[in-house]
Chain A
Amino acid sequence: MFNISGTQINFLKVRVITFILSAILIFLSIGAFFVNGLNFGIDFKGGTLIEIETSQEIEISGLRDNLNTLELGDVQVQEFGSSKNLLIRVEQQLGGDQVQQDVVQIVKDSLGSYLSSDINFRRTEVVGPKVSGELIQSGAIAIFVAVFAMLVYIWFRFEWQFSLGAVLALVHDVILTIGVFCLTQLEFNLPIIAAILTIVGYSMNDTVVVYDRVRENLRKYRSKEITDLLNLSINDTLSRTIVTSVTTLLALLSLFIFGGEVIKGFTFAMIWGVIVGTYSSIFVAAPLLRYLDVKREWNTTSAVDSTR
């Protein structure tokens, strides 16, 4: 039988190791950000994306060479799910928004004359420089606003120490998620911003459950040593943390495997985020409280009390 209740694992004993691990991962992420950078999709970089399906298999390198003779700048061609599905990306053209529109027709004409098989145009996206600039800005703002909103919410519901610890864990998760996209060079587009925001919500959700128990135990065991108390709280909630992470991951894995190519990057980000978020609430957010001088005397009338 599955039973992880009543564990007594000393999580804080390994805190130095996990802090170092997190520091290394953050360092790697920031390094990758400056060395590799993010592989922005057309949402943020502007340009044209065309997904086609052909009746016969296509030799990609030949098609790529052909499209690169069109003088449209960098043209990428890649397989998308199967060898009959291709994704063609054309970089943003110089000369403003109106010029971008011509690219689709040029590429379509060229495909029609180069490929002998039937072509089904499954998806066409053209994003001009104006919109891509706005999208990247609003995406960045959204993440900052979300993190800030969490900071304020936790501050109201708990104390500033908790708020700080939770947000540090959150920033940790966001940096590692952006870092993994820099390292893998997976396309970073609008849905990934949505994924990061969801990760922010999920990771916070996990952290809040642990913190809630810390607060409760602080009231219950007034003389208990803080390290022991944090350990106890993590262990108390460990079973829930694992069960919820597993169910979420089960659903996401199913989406990753069966949900189709279009949504794969998004699902990957979410899976990564759930793993990192779960890790951080146990090994970052909770141990951080040890250094943040949490108050032991709670004014029981201030916050909604769950433990009476």
Chain B
Amino acid sequence: MLYFSNLKIFSVLAVIIITLLFAVPNFFGKDQLETFPNFFPKQQVNLGLDLQGGSHLLLEVDTEEIIKERVENLNADVRRVLKKNNLNYSNFKVSNESLKFIVEGFNSEIQKEISELSMSNSQNILAMGDQTNLIITQEENTVQINFTEEFIKQSVSNAVAQSLEIVRRRIDELGTREPSIQRQGSSRIIIQLPGIDDPDRIKSLLGQTAKLTFQLVDTSVNFDPFNPSKAPIGSEILESDADEEFKYIVKKRIMVGGENLVDAQPGFDPQTNEPIVSFRFDRIGATKFGRVTQQNVGKPFAIVLDNKVISAPVIREAILGGSGQISGGFDSEEANDLAILLRAGALPAPLIILEERSVGPDLGADSIEAGQFAAIIGFIAVIIFMIFVYRYFGLLADIALIINLFMVLGVLSLFQATLTLPGIAGIILTIGMAVDANVLIFERVKEEIRNGSNMMNAVENGYKRALSTILDANITTLIAAIILFFMASGPVRGFSITLAIGIFTSVFTAFTFTRLLISFNAKRLKPNFVGLSKNV
């Protein structure tokens, strides 16, 4: 057991030295690292948001809203088909996920027509080869129409993917440093924003769906903005963005939507010096907008954002150039944000913020400093204690402990794992627990000596006998760390990572490095080197 072949010695030292090399960059500044030769590792430990400062947001896509919208579209499609075929329906009920009505003369032809229309309106959602997205059941004159489960699932999944993309665009527009935007589970999005400790602006940018529409104002009815009567069919009452008491009555039909915008930029109105957002339509949008404005000169139209009227200017002349501007009493930051939202596009459904955790840069820096100090003090205390108990062997264990600490750092840098505040706690805990493997071995060695073995045999047997105990003891802690890794997220997960790495490095160093050190000195070892008095 104490004999090591040269190859073994070489590989043990190689593993240790390589891991240590990966720890080195953490002790230099970024500028100094630039001057290092190319082959040298330059990755530093990835600091968690709780240490470097930053903001973590957990969002959820409001999936109910998506399904609701799908059902509403279906509702319109079905009514259109029924009307076209001159069928009289009654008891029309729209529930969360289905339509139900009573109708006479509903046959497979009409069923097919509904299916086809609904299919053609949801082309981009279904996978290739899907025959239908509807389940239509008929019992005498009662018809019920549901979406297939697959279609609902796919709709939600598409909406979440789309939301992810739009969230990314909006955040990129703000010029945030290295944001991380990831999907979590079926309908959630995790956003990590290093360096941002007050995410108010981002939260407000993400809090809007930013659905922009241009709709004509309904001028056919007499209308008191502060005391609106019921809107006629085909029109709706919307409130003003600036003053919720002030209402508009606008036609439901959308002239042009935000999806036809190609650009939006903040600016100032040259005459009034008021902040504005100027925009440009794509070709289809420009044509549509030109046609509607041509036909409605002299009438007002409403610019509607998320169901609120930003402004309702009067069309002075046909707008054929495909560009225009929005003014609505914003300040310049509001104009800027609106431009960002319009460029990034509308969210398919509202986002709900489920969780926010933000840490300022000061607290992060304080935590690192306190953690480092605690680590050093704990380290010194353990080192002294080990020498006190095990003398020369204690010193060997201490050297292994130092190597161990750097290895943990090296492995963290190598795998670019994230170091968090609980992660630092994990390292400090490792300082305390890493000596355990060596303690188990040394205790065995002492025992062997007490039972009359000579030093060489004692060390040999000590290692052999301690092996299974060390494995059993460390596997239990490892199991706990693994469970923690899968259950936790964020900072706490960082703890499980350092704990697990610490277990591996400490077992590794005990079985290779300390053993190597002992084998180099085996012949000169005397019982008192293990902390035993000579006369035992």
Contact = CB atoms under 8 A, between A and B. Distances in A.
Interface of A: 1-3, 5-6, 51, 53, 97-98, 100-101, 104-105, 120-128, 130-131, 138-139, 141-142, 145-146, 149-150, 153, 157, 190-191, 193-194, 197-198, 200-202, 204-206, 208-209, 212-213, 236-237, 239-240, 243-244, 246-255, 257-260, 262-263, 266-267, 270, 304-307
B34 interface: no
B504 to A, nearest CB: 14
A297 to B, nearest CB: 19
A204 B476 contact: yes
A139 B492 CA distance: 12
Contacts of B431: 247, 251
Contacts of A127: 355
Contacts, number: 247
A98 B378 CA distance: 44
Interface string B463-476: 01111110011111
Interface in B339-386: 352-360, 362-363, 366-367, 370-371, 373-375, 377-379, 381-382, 385-386
A149 B483 CA distance: 9
A257 B374 CA distance: 8
Interface of B: 50, 58, 60, 197-198, 200, 203, 207, 352-360, 362-363, 366-367, 370-371, 373-375, 377-379, 381-382, 385-386, 388-389, 421-422, 424-425, 428-429, 431-433, 435-436, 439-440, 443, 446-447, 450, 464-469, 472-481, 483-484, 487-488, 491-492, 495-496, 499, 531-533
B428 A212 contact: no
B298 to A, nearest CB: 42
Contact of B480 (A53, A121, A126, A198): A198
A236 to B, nearest CB: 7
B378 A250 contact: yes
B385 A246 contact: yes
A255 B436 CA distance: 19
Contacts of A146: 479-480, 483-484
Contacts of B473: 205-206, 208-209, 212
Nearest to B530: A5
Nearest to A149: B479
A128 B355 contact: yes
Max chain B CB contacts within 10 Å: which of A2, A6, A153, A260?
A260
Nearest to A146: B483
3 pairs of A and B residues whose beta carbons are closest in the complex: A201-B480, A251-B432, A254-B378
Contact of A247 (B377, B435, B475, B496): B435
Given A201-B477, A212-B472, A259-B374, A131 B439 contact: no
B433 A248 contact: yes
Contacts of A304: 468
10 contacts: A1-B531, A101-B207, A124-B356, A206-B473, A239-B446, A240-B443, A251-B433, A252-B429, A255-B429, A259-B374
Given A1-B531, A240-B440, A251-B378, A205 B487 contact: no
A157 B243 CA distance: 72
Given A209-B472, A240-B440, A250-B378, 5 more contacts: A121-B360, A197-B481, A201-B476, A243-B435, A267-B425
A50 to B, nearest CB: 10
A2 B384 CA distance: 13
Nearest to A274: B432
B421 A254 contact: no
B378 A125 contact: no
Contact of B377 (A190, A204, A212, A254): A254
Nearest to A101: B353
Given A239-B443, A263-B425, A150 B476 contact: yes
A307 B469 CA distance: 11
Contact of A205 (B388, B477, B484, B491): B477
A275 to B, nearest CB: 13
A267 B425 CA distance: 8
A126 B386 contact: no
Contacts of A270: 425, 429
Given A157-B472, A251-B378, A255-B374, A194 B492 contact: yes
Contacts of A260: 366-367, 370-371, 374, 421
Contact of B382 (A212, A240, A250): A250
B514 to A, nearest CB: 15
A249 B377 CA distance: 12
Contact of A5 (B200, B358, B422, B443): B443
A290 to B, nearest CB: 21
A97 B187 CA distance: 15
Given A197-B484, A244-B439, A2 B422 contact: no
Given A197-B484, A201-B481, A208 B378 contact: no
B353 A258 contact: no
A254 B374 contact: yes
